[in-house]
Amino acid sequence: MAMTKEENELLTRVENGAPMGEMIRQHYWLPAVPASKLEADGAPVRVRLLGKNYVAFRATDGSVGVLDEQCPHRRASLALAGNGENGLRCIYHGWKLNVKGEVVEAPNHTGNQEGFCSKVRVNRYTTVDRGGIVWVWLGQGEKAPPFPELPFIDLPADQRSVTSVEVPTNWVQAVEASMDSSHVGVLHESTTQITAGGGNERMLMAKALAPKLEFEDRPYGYRYAALRALPDDQVYARVNNFVMPWYGLICPPDANGPTTVFFSTPVDDVTHRAWFVQFNPKRPLGMTIMSASPDVWNFPPLPPGDAKDNWGQNRDLMRRGHKTGFPQHLGTEDFAMFISQGPIYDRSEEQLCSADGAVMRVRALLLRAAREFIDGKTPALADNPQLDYRAIRSVGGVIATGANWRTLADQ
């Protein structure tokens, strides 16, 4: 059943007090910037989250902070601030703020400096540097929500990689795609061929384009198996996990390959930041299509054109056998689809099929959380006492027809 226009608005909007945005702000940590993007005493990085502007910086002692972009004095941008001696100093009048968001100096004020600074109204945000990402909690109160202790968070740096890019569409379009198993064998067929090498089980997805989906609810969201029938009474099973509010944990391409975590966070109503984390809990990650990122703040590449030239699609390459005409990257293919849908696409006009069950569950969980928040409740999946991010595991493999895919997932 198609969504109503009212449901679509509730699902997608995050700005100007929209319930979804306020729910996320209060009950979830947001990735702000790749940790490697911040240098001690280096330039602050402008970050936009949920329709508001911030700056992230690394202080002299290595600690990190996220502040409102505008200086609390005369509202000049702190993206222009000097960074040194464990704080940002506004270049307009010299006010200085530390990583906690406290004003510690106001050199143009006469009288009791310490007393004056302590009374300046500022928003203070809890910030941590873990898993190669600087995270921020933008909510109010003393108690932050549970931190997403996903399986890559405490791995050594050489066993994980982080990259991200800003995409000019609403965030939900990308979150849905992370749980859309049936698009992989179509949209990414050529990319998978190019990157497969020997033994990459993902090539099996192109041989069975209509997977059977089976679901299990979990304290963090759900896991599901996409089951593809193969010859010789075999089934290719891919067991992936959706973790509220935006994480898609995707199984490795083979037993020794990396797991990928896709998450798409709302910059504003019509822009999101796509994050890609790859990790291998068994060994160093090495070079992959994600770890080879030349710019962790701007990779994978967006499509090279706009709607006037079909977003730069290469039809000559398609005539030679490439399935999409976007050879730049797997991510580029996804971005082209999102952008072609429009800034916020109207789900009341779509016509769904049996392959869309995981997408519908993403929407249902997000809408339930927003409605719980509207009712004054903590969303059930935001602070579940059984929540254990570390135990989440996505796997793939070939099993016998009739075998229980859970044995593959739980071994």
Q: Is residue 260 part of a domain?
A: yes
CA 225, CA 236: separation in Å to the nearest integer? Answer: 10
Domain boundary (75, 106, 137) is at 137
Same domain, 226 and 343: yes
Same domain, 222 and 322: yes
Same domain, 283 and 395: yes
CA 20, CA 268: separation in Å to the nearest integer? Answer: 12
Same domain, 183 and 332: yes
Question: Is pLDDT above 90 for 407?
Answer: no
Same domain, 369 and 222: yes
Which two three-digit tokens encode residue 223? 């896991």
Number of domains in the chain: 2
Q: Is residue 338 part of a domain?
A: yes
Give the pLDDT of residue 253.
84
Same domain, 284 and 388: yes
Give yes or no for a contact between 362 and 222, defined as CB atoms under 8 angstroms apart: no
Return mean pLDDT, the chain.
94
Question: Is pLDDT above 90 for 255?
Answer: no
Question: Is pLDDT above 80 for 410?
Answer: no
Neighbours of 197 (CB within 10 A): 9
Q: Is residue 7 part of a domain?
A: no
Q: Is residue 315 part of a domain?
A: yes
Question: Is pLDDT above 70 for 207?
Answer: no
Residue 201's pLDDT band, with cuts at 50, 70 and 90, is low
Same domain, 174 and 211: yes
Instruction: Please choose, from the candidates 316, 73, 333, 304, the residue with its C-alpha nearest in 3D space to the C-alpha of residue 187.
Output: 333
Q: Is residue 314 part of a domain?
A: yes
Which two three-digit tokens encode residue 34? 């790749």
**What are the pLDDT digits (tens) for 324-370?**
999 999 999 999 999 999 999 999 999 999 989 999 999 999 999 99
CATH code for the domain of 175: 3.90.380
Q: Which domain holds residue 337?
A: 157-410
Residue 205's pLDDT band, with cuts at 50, 70 and 90, is low
Question: Is pLDDT above 80 for 93?
Answer: yes
Q: Is residue 400 part of a domain?
A: yes
Question: Is pLDDT above 90 for 6?
Answer: yes
Give the pLDDT of residue 304.
98
Give the pLDDT of residue 401.
93
Q: Which residue do the tokens 């293919």 mark? A: 333
Most confident of 96-110, 244-258, 382-396: 96-110
Residue 2's pLDDT band, with cuts at 50, 70 and 90, is confident
Give the pLDDT of residue 202.
60
Same domain, 177 and 124: no
CATH code for the domain of 65: 2.102.10.10
Task: Pick the more confident residue, 408 or 5.
Answer: 5
Question: Is pLDDT above 90 for 185?
Answer: no
Q: What is the 3-state secondary structure (H, E, C) of the chain?
A: CCCCHHHHHHHHCCCCCCHHHHHHHHHCCEEEEEHHHCCECCCCEEEEECCEEEEEEECCCCCEEEEECECCCCCCEHHHCEECCCCEECCCCCCEECCCCCEEECCCCCCCHHHHHHCCCCCCCEEEEECCEEEEECCCCCCCCCCCCCCCCCCCHHHEEEEEEEECCCHHHHHHHHCCHHHHHHHCHHHHHHHHCCCCHHHHHHHCCCCEEEEEEECCEEEEEEEEEECCCEEEEEEEEEECCCEEEECCCCCCCCEEEEEEEEEECCEEEEEEEEECCCCCCCCCCCCCCCCCCCCCCCCCCCHHHHHHCCHHHHHCCCCCCCCCCHHHHHHHHHHHHCCCCCHHHCCCCHHHHHHHHHHHHHHHHHHHHHCCCCCCCCCCCCCCHHHCCCEEEEEECCCCHHHHHHC
Same domain, 304 and 371: yes
Domain boundary (108, 137, 166) is at 137
Residue 206's pLDDT band, with cuts at 50, 70 and 90, is low
**What are the pLDDT digits (tens) for 271-325?**
999 999 999 999 999 999 999 999 999 999 999 999 999 999 999 999 999 999 9
**What are the pLDDT digits (tens) for 139-173?**
999 999 999 999 999 999 999 999 999 999 999 99
Start-to-end Cα distance in the chain: 36
Same domain, 67 and 175: no
Amino acid at 133: I
Task: Please give the share of the chain, as a percent, with pLDDT higher than 90.
Answer: 83
Same domain, 188 and 76: no
Give the pLDDT of residue 152.
97
Domain boundary (137, 172, 194) is at 137
Residue 63's pLDDT band, with cuts at 50, 70 and 90, is very high
Q: Is residue 42 part of a domain?
A: yes
Give the pLDDT of residue 208.
60
Give the pLDDT of residue 54.
98
Same domain, 110 and 170: no
Q: Is residue 34 part of a domain?
A: yes
Q: Which long-range contacts (CB under 8 A, 24 or more apart) does 216-220 make?
A: 216/406, 218/392, 219/381, 219/384, 219/386, 219/387, 219/388, 220/244, 220/381, 220/384, 220/387, 220/389, 220/392
